[in-house]
Amino acid sequence: MNFDVDVLMDRVKMLKNWRIWVGKVAEVVGTLLPGARVYVIGSVVRGDYVAGSDVDVLIVSEHVPDRLVERSRLKVAIEDGLKLPYYHPFEFHLVKPEEAEIYLRRAGEDILEV
């Protein structure tokens, strides 16, 4: 099979198994940001996602760094902790509690707390 097709098929498999993966995300996040709240928002919660969709994971903690570069490092630590491949479908949104309101309001009813 073609490498590109293999990658796409593996990504789709991860997307279909998003509920299993987000449980693992919550475990890793719990070690990096104790007390963090983890939510899944958007199309996967509604059930209308497609092969190219992302799994939007909102991570809310007082301990989220202020600087974007530090937030990026934290995202990499989450990816490394999960041993995610570069093509994974997860989009991590790291925010402080006061920043979470806009995400939660925009998501409406399409929210699942992990």
Q: What is the pLDDT of residues 15-42, one digit of tens each?
A: 999 999 999 999 999 999 999 999 999 9
Predicted confidence (pLDDT) at residue 2 exceeds the cutoff of 90: no
Is residue 48 within a helix (H) or strand (E), and if so which, with residue range?
none
The helix/strand/coil state of 93 is strand
Q: Are strands 111-113 and 37-41 parallel, antiparallel or unpaired?
A: antiparallel
> How high is the pLDDT of residue 58?
98
CATH of 3-113, one of 3.40.50.2000, 3.30.460.10, 3.30.230.70, 3.30.310.50: 3.30.460.10
Q: Residue 1 — very low, low, confident or very high, per pLDDT cuts 50/70/90?
A: low
| Residue-averaged pLDDT of the chain | 94
Q: Bridge partners of 112?
A: 40
Q: What is the pTM of this model?
A: 0.90
